[in-house]
C-alpha cells in the first residue's frame, strides 16, 4: 500500500459546554473573551481517524489545517502533541467574520496549496455553529467525492477507501476513490492522548505572530529548530480572492439572537416523504423558527 | 472530567521543593542532552514545565480511562488461555493508553528511549494511577524492573531490553517468591544451571504469587550455586517471554487488586541471562529492586488513601440523614478531616523519601561517568543512609494508614459501603494487600529500626527542627517535646540490651519517629504554603497523643512481661479447645 497524504481540517471553538452568563454580547455575537476555547470535539475524532490510518499505512503523513485567530495556534500544537506530522494556520484579520461559504472557500484555497493529497478529513460539525456544512462545501469546491458521518475506515487499498457511515437508523458501508473528503462522526474512536515526547518536543511551537511577542530564548530556539515555527498563511499566501473571504464573502447575516427557553419535552418524528417534510417546514415558518 | 494531576495541587507543591533543583541538576548534567534529543529540557524551569505537562497527561488518562475501567476490571479480572495470561479488557485498554502516551520507561535514560524523568515524577504518576485503580498500578509500576536492568545489567543487556519498554510497551515482572520462600527469600530453590554446550543459563522450577507473572521481560531470582541454601547462592536472571518456556499454571483468586494477575509459574528449561555477578542476586540486586518496589507501594498506598478520602467526602456531602447532610455531624467530619490531614502527612513523607532516593541514585549514575567531589561523595552517602530508613518507613506508615482510611471511608458510607454499589467496597479490598506485599509491615519495621538505633532519624529530626521558623513556636515546642520523649524511650529500650525486647517494640519506636518526622514536614510545608497550616496543627495534635500512648506503654513495660506473651503450643490448644 502506498503512503497517503492526509489533511485534517480542525477548528478552535468556544467551550460551549461551560458557558457563563456573559457568553453573548448584547449585539448577539459570541463574546469570545469570556469563553475558554477547545479543539472542536468532532475534529478530534477526525484527527484520530487520520492518525489511525497513519498507524496502518506506513509512510502516511497527516497535516493539520486550521483557520482562526492567532490563539488558534493551540490547535496546531495539540495536533503535534498527539502525533500529526505538520500543521498549518490560516490566520489573517481579513478572514474574520466568515460564514460557512467563506470558510470553505478559504480552507479550499489552503488545501490546494497543500496539494497533492489523497484524503481530507474533518469533524462532522463544529459545536459553535452546528451547521455540518463546511466539510461538504469543501468537497464540492474541490470537486472530489465526499463521505459524511464516517465512523470507521474498514479498508484502504491502492485506489479505494471503504468506510462505515453511522446513520440515524443503522450503518452504511461505502467505498470511494481517492482523493476524497470525509466528515467524521462523534461515534468514531476517541482521540488518543498526547504523547509525552511530542509534548516536550513541540511545546515551544509558535506562529510568526506569536513569536513576535516571545522572549529571546524562544526566538533563538526557533532559529535552531525551524520545525517549531508554525506556517501562518495570509490572504496572499493562499491567493484568496478578497471578495470571497471574511465578512465580504459571507452572505449569512445574523438578524437577531434571542434566548429561548425550551419547554417542549417530546421529539417529533417525521417520515422521509416529501409531503411530511413540506408540512414541517410550513410549521416552522409559521412559528418563525425559520424564515 | 477531572484530571488527577490538576485536582491535586500538592503535586505541584512537592515539585517546587528545593531538593528538586539539585535532582534536576544532577540528572540533566547542564542540560547537555538538549543538543541531542529534541525532547530534553533546556533549563531547570523547562524541565519542571515538562514534568507538569507530562503528569497532566497521566492525570487525564487516570481519570478518563483507568478510573473509568476500574470497576469492570475488578469484576472481569484476568484469566489463563493456553498457559498464558489474558488481561481484563479494561486492563489492556489502560496499558495501551499509557503506552501510546509514551509513559512506559519514564525514568529510563533517553538513549534507551526513556524520558529521563526523576523518580519523583514517576512516583507522582504511580500515586495517580493507584488512585484510579490500585491493581492496575502494579502492572504499570513493574517498569521498575527496567530500572534494575539499567542499574546492574551489562551494556549489551541494556541495549537489548531497555528500548523495548518505551518503544514496544513491554511489561515486566519481578519473579522472586516461591511456595516456601515468601518473606524469607534466602530459601529460594528455583534452579539455574549453566549449559556449557549452549553457553546459556537454564532455569527450572516453580514460582508462586508472582504479580504479572506472564510479563514480556522478567527478573528471576534463582539458585545458581549448587549445594548452597542461603542468600549467597542466589543470582538474578532476565527471562524473555519470547522463549515460551514458562507455563502459567494457576492464577490466584484474591480479596483485592483483582485486575492484577497473581501467577504460579513453571519454568521448564527456560533460557535466561545472568544479571551482574553470580551470587549477588538477593544481597544486592533484589534488595535494590525491593527498595523501589517499596517506594512504589508507598505511592500506591497514598493513591488508595486519596481515592478512599474523596469517596468519603463525596458521599458525606451528598447523603442526608436526620434532616442534614452527614458531613455536618462531628463524628463524620472528624473522620474526614483526619483522612485529609493524614494524607497530607503521608504525601509529604512520600516525596521527601523519593527525593532522597532520587538524589542518591543520581549521584550513583553520575559516579559512573565522573569522579565525584568529596562533598558530593559525602552527600551521596548521607542520602543513601536516609533512603535506606525512610523507604521502609513510608512503606509501613502509608500502607497501614491507607487501610485505616479505607476502613473509615467505608464506615462513612454505612451499609451502602458494604454493598458493591460504591467504589469504596473495591478500594477497601484493594488497600488490604499494601501492608503485606513487598515486605510486611513487621518486616518494614525491622528495616526501619536502624533509623532509630543509628540515630539517623533523630539527626534528620534535628535538621528539620532547625528549619522551623520562630513564628511556629507552638508547634515547634510540641514537636520538640515529642522528640525528647522519643529520644528518652528509644534509649531506654536500646540500653536494656535485649534484642527480643527491641524487636517487640520495634514498630512502636519506628512509628513514633515517623509521626515526629511527618509533623515537622507538615510544619515546614506550611512555611512554604499556607494551605498546610491547618494540616500541620491537626496532625501534630493527633500524633502528640499517639506518641504519649506509645511512650507510656514502653515505659511501663517490664522486660519479664515478654514471657507472658509467648504462647506455648499446649497453651494455644488449651485456649482454643
Write the pLDDT tens digit of every residue in A166-206: 998 899 999 999 999 999 999 999 999 999 999 999 999 99
pLDDT at A275 over 90: no
In residues, how long is chain A?
291
pLDDT value at residue A250: 83
**pLDDT, chain A, mean:** 89
Comparison of pLDDT for A291 and B210, the residue scoring more? B210
Across A189-198, A264-273, B24-33, B286-295, least confident range: A264-273
- Least CA distance to B103: which residue of chain A? A196
Per-residue pLDDT of B302-361, as tens digits, reads 999 999 999 999 999 999 999 999 999 999 999 999 999 999 999 999 999 999 999 999
Task: Choose from A74, A196, A199 for mutation: most chain B CBs within 10 A.
Answer: A196
Asked whether the beta carbons of residue B40 and residue A200 sit closer than 8 angstroms, the reply is yes
pLDDT at A24 over 60: yes
pLDDT value at residue A273: 86
Per-residue pLDDT of B396-419, as tens digits, reads 999 999 999 999 999 999 999 999
Residue pair B408/B331 in contact by the 8 Å Cβ criterion: no
Mean pLDDT of A200-226: 95
pLDDT at B269 over 60: yes
Residue pair B207/B264 in contact by the 8 Å Cβ criterion: yes
- 3-state SS class at B482: helix
What is the CATH number that goes with domain B10-168+283-435? 1.20.140.10
| pLDDT bucket at A242, cuts 50 / 70 / 90 | confident
B528-558 burial by CB neighbour count: b if 16+ within 10 A, else e?
eeeebbebbbbbbebbbeebeebbeebeebe
Q: How far is Cα B414 from Cα B326, in angstroms, rounded to an integer?
A: 11
pLDDT value at residue B241: 97
Asked whether the beta carbons of residue A194 and residue B57 sit closer than 8 angstroms, the reply is yes
Per-residue pLDDT of B40-80, as tens digits, reads 999 999 999 999 999 999 999 999 999 999 999 999 999 99
pLDDT value at residue A35: 78
Residues of A in contact with B121 (CB under 8 A): none
pLDDT at A17 over 90: no
pLDDT value at residue A241: 87
Spelled out in words, what is the top-level CATH class assigned to the domain B172-279? Answer: mainly beta
Percent over 90 (pLDDT), chain B: 91
- Least CA distance to A195: which residue of chain B? B101
Strands (E), A212-263: 229-230, 232-233
pLDDT at B573 over 60: no
pLDDT value at residue A126: 86
pLDDT value at residue A166: 94
What homologous superfamily does CATH list for A5-244?
Answer: HUPs (3.40.50.620)
Q: How far is Cα B391 from Cα B356, in angstroms, rounded to an integer?
A: 9
Q: How far is Cα A119 from Cα A161, in angstroms, rounded to an integer?
A: 9
Q: How far is Cα B49 from Cα B70, in angstroms, rounded to an integer?
A: 30
Per-residue pLDDT of A116-151, as tens digits, reads 999 999 999 888 877 888 889 889 999 999 999 999
Per-residue pLDDT of B360-393, as tens digits, reads 999 998 898 889 999 999 999 999 999 999 999 9
- Least CA distance to B96: which residue of chain A? A192
* DSSP tag of B66: I
pLDDT at B538 over 90: yes
Residues of A in contact with B57 (CB under 8 A): 193-194, 196, 199
pLDDT value at residue B368: 87
Mean pLDDT of A264-286: 81
Per-residue pLDDT of B482-536, as tens digits, reads 999 999 999 999 999 999 999 999 999 999 999 999 999 999 999 999 999 999 9
Q: Nearest CA of chain B to the CA of A3: how many Å?
A: 22
Residue whose C-alpha cell reads 418563525 in the numeric block: A288
- Least CA distance to B64: which residue of chain A? A193
Other beta carbons within 10 Å of A221: 17
pLDDT value at residue A99: 83
Q: How far is Cα B4 from Cα B56, in angstroms, rounded to an integer?
A: 8
- Least CA distance to A227: which residue of chain B? B38
Per-residue pLDDT of B129-163, as tens digits, reads 999 999 999 999 999 899 999 999 999 999 999 99
**Residues of chain B contacting A, Cβ within 8 Å:** 38-42, 49-50, 53-54, 57, 60-61, 97, 100-103, 106, 115
pLDDT at B576 over 60: no
pLDDT at B284 over 80: yes
**A221/B contact by beta carbon, under 8 A:** yes
pLDDT value at residue B73: 98
Q: How far is Cα A122 from Cα A8, in angstroms, rounded to an integer?
A: 6
**A169/B contact by beta carbon, under 8 A:** no
| pLDDT bucket at B290, cuts 50 / 70 / 90 | confident
Of A13, A117, A4, nearest to A51 (Cα)?
A4
Strand duo A180-184 + A146-156: pairing = parallel
| pLDDT bucket at B112, cuts 50 / 70 / 90 | very high
Per-residue pLDDT of B451-485, as tens digits, reads 999 999 999 999 999 999 999 999 999 999 999 99
Domain boundaries, chain B: 10-168+283-435, 172-279, 463-565
pLDDT at A25 over 80: no
Percent over 90 (pLDDT), chain A: 63
pTM: 0.91
pLDDT value at residue A265: 66
Mean pLDDT of A249-278: 77
pLDDT value at residue B570: 60
**A216/B contact by beta carbon, under 8 A:** no
**A52/B contact by beta carbon, under 8 A:** no
| pLDDT bucket at A20, cuts 50 / 70 / 90 | confident
Architecture of domain B463-565: Up-down Bundle (1.20)
* Angle of CA points A99, A104, A105, to nearest 5°: 100
Q: How far is Cα B307 from Cα B317, in angstroms, rounded to an integer?
A: 16
Residue pair B476/B449 in contact by the 8 Å Cβ criterion: no
| pLDDT bucket at A291, cuts 50 / 70 / 90 | low
| pLDDT bucket at B279, cuts 50 / 70 / 90 | very high
Residue pair B349/B514 in contact by the 8 Å Cβ criterion: yes
pLDDT value at residue A52: 96
pLDDT value at residue B488: 98
pLDDT value at residue B185: 87
**pLDDT, chain B, mean:** 95
Asked whether the beta carbons of residue A199 and residue B61 sit closer than 8 angstroms, the reply is no
pLDDT at A224 over 70: yes
Amino acid at each position: 500500500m502506498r503512503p497517503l497524504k492526509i489533511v485534517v481540517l480542525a477548528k478552535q471553538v468556544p467551550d460551549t459546554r461551560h458557558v457563563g452568563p456573559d457568553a453573548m454580547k448584547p449585539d448577539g455575537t459570541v463574546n469570545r473573551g469570556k469563553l475558554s476555547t477547545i479543539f472542536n470535539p468532532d475534529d478530534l475524532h477526525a484527527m484520530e481517524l487520520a492518525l489511525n490510518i497513519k498507524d496502518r499505512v506506513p509512510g502516511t503523513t497527516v497535516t493539520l489545517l486550521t483557520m482562526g485567530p492567532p490563539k488558534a495556534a493551540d490547535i496546531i500544537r495539540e495536533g503535534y502533541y498527539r502525533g500529526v506530522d505538520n500543521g498549518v494556520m490560516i490566520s489573517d484579520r481579513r478572514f474574520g467574520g466568515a460564514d460557512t461559504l467563506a470558510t470553505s472557500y478559504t480552507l479550499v484555497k489552503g488545501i490546494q496549496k497543500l496539494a497533492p493529497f489523497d484524503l481530507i478529513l474533518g469533524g462532522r460539525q463544529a459545536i459553535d455553529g452546528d451547521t455540518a456544512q463546511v466539510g461538504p462545501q469543501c468537497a464540492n469546491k474541490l470537486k472530489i467525492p465526499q463521505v459524511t458521518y464516517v465512523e470507521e475506515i474498514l479498508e484502504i487499498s491502492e485506489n479505494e477507501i471503504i468506510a462505515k457511515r453511522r446513520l440515524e437508523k443503522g450503518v452504511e458501508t461505502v467505498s470511494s476513490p481517492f482523493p476524497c473528503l470525509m466528515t467524521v462522526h462523534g461515534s468514531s474512536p476517541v482521540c488518543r492522548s498526547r504523547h509525552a515526547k511530542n509534548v516536550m518536543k513541540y511545546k515551544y511551537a509558535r506562529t510568526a505572530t506569536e513569536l513576535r511577542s516571545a522572549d529571546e530564548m524562544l526566538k533563538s530556539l526557533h532559529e535552531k529548530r525551524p520545525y517549531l515555527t508554525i506556517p501562518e498563511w495570509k490572504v496572499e499566501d493562499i491567493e484568496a480572492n478578497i471578495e470571497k473571504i471574511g465578512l465580504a464573502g459571507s452572505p449569512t447575516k445574523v438578524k437577531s439572537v434571542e434566548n429561548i427557553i425550551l419547554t417542549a419535552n417530546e421529539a417529533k418524528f417525521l417520515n422521509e416523504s416529501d409531503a411530511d417534510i413540506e408540512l414541517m417546514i410550513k410549521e416552522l415558518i409559521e412559528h418563525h423558527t425559520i424564515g | 472530567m477531572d484530571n488527577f494531576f490538576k485536582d491535586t495541587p500538592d503535586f505541584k507543591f512537592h515539585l517546587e521543593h528545593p531538593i528538586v533543583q539539585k535532582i534536576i541538576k544532577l540528572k540533566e548534567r547542564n542540560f547537555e542532552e538538549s543538543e541531542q534529543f529534541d525532547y530534553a529540557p533546556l533549563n531547570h524551569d523547562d524541565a519542571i514545565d515538562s514534568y507538569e505537562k507530562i503528569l497532566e497527561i497521566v492525570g487525564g488518562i487516570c481519570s478518563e480511562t483507568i478510573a473509568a475501567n476500574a470497576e469492570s476490571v475488578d469484576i472481569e479480572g484476568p484469566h489463563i488461555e493456553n498457559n498464558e495470561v489474558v488481561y481484563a479488557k479494561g486492563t489492556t485498554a489502560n496499558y495501551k493508553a499509557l503506552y501510546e502516551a509514551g509513559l512506559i520507561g519514564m525514568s529510563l535514560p533517553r538513549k534507551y528511549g526513556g524520558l529521563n524523568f526523576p523518580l519523583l515524577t514517576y512516583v507522582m504518576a504511580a500515586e495517580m494511577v493507584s488512585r484510579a485503580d490500585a491493581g492496575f498500578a502494579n502492572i504499570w509500576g513493574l517498569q521498575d524492573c527496567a530500572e534494575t536492568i539499567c542499574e546492574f545489567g551489562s551494556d549489551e543487556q541494556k541495549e537489548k531490553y531497555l528500548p523495548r519498554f518505551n518503544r514496544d510497551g513491554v511489561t515486566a515482572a519481578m519473579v522472586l517468591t516461591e511456595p516456601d520462600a515468601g518473606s524469607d527469600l534466602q530459601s529460594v530453590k528455583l534452579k539455574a544451571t549453566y549449559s556449557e554446550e549452549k553457553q546459556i543459563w537454564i532455569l527450572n522450577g516453580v514460582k508462586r504469587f508472582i504479580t504479572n507473572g506472564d510479563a514480556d521481560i522478567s527478573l528471576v531470582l534463582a539458585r545458581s550455586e549448587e549445594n548452597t541454601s542461603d542468600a549467597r547462592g542466589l543470582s538474578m536472571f532476565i527471562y524473555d517471554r519470547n522463549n515460551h518456556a514458562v507455563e502459567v499454571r494457576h492464577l490466584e483468586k484474591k480479596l483485592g487488586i483483582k485486575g492484577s494477575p497473581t501467577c504460579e509459574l513453571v519454568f521448564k528449561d527456560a533460557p535466561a541471562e545472568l544479571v551482574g555477578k553470580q551470587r549477588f542476586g538477593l544481597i544486592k540486586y533484589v534488595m535494590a529492586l525491593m527498595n523501589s518496589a517499596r517506594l512504589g507501594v508507598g505511592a500506591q498506598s497514598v493513591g488508595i488513601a486519596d481515592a478512599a478520602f474523596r469517596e468519603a467526602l463525596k458521599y458525606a456531602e451528598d447523603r442526608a440523614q436526620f434532616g442534614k447532610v452527614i458531613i455536618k455531624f462531628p463524628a463524620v467530619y472528624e473522620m474526614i478531616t483526619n483522612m485529609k490531614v493524614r494524607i497530607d502527612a503521608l504525601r509529604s513523607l512520600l516525596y521527601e523519601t523519593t527525593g532522597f532516593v532520587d538524589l542518591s541514585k543520581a549521584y550513583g549514575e553520575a559516579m559512573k561517568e565522573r569522579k565525584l567531589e568529596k562533598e558530593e561523595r559525602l552527600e551521596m552517602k548521607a542520602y543513601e543512609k536516609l533512603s535506606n530508613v525512610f523507604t521502609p518507613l513510608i512503606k509501613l506508615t502509608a500502607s497501614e494508614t491507607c487501610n485505616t482510611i479505607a476502613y473509615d471511608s467505608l464506615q462513612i458510607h454505612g451499609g451502602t459501603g458494604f454493598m458493591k454499589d460504591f467504589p469504596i467496597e473495591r478500594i477497601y479490598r484493594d488497600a488490604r494487600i499494601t501492608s503485606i506485599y513487598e515486605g510486611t509491615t513487621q518486616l518494614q519495621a525491622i528495616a526501619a529500626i536502624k533509623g532509630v538505633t543509628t540515630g539517623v532519624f533523630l539527626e534528620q529530626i534535628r535538621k528539620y527542627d532547625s528549619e522551623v521558623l520562630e513564628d511556629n513556636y507552638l508547634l515547634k515546642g510540641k514537636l520538640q517535646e515529642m522528640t525528647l520523649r522519643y529520644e528518652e524511650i528509644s534509649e531506654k529500650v536500646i540500653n536494656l540490651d535485649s534484642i527480643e525486647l527491641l524487636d517487640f517494640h520495634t514498630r512502636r519506636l519506628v512509628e513514633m519517629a515517623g509521626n515526629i518526622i511527618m509533623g515537622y514536614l507538615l510544619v515546614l510545608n506550611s512555611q512554604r504554603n499556607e494551605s498546610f497550616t491547618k494540616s500541620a496543627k491537626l496532625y501534630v495534635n493527633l500524633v502528640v497523643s499517639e506518641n504519649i500512648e506509645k511512650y507510656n506503654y514502653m515505659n511501663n513495660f517490664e522486660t519479664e512481661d515478654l514471657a507472658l506473651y509467648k504462647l506455648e503450643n499446649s497453651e494455644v490448644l488449651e485456649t482454643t479447645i
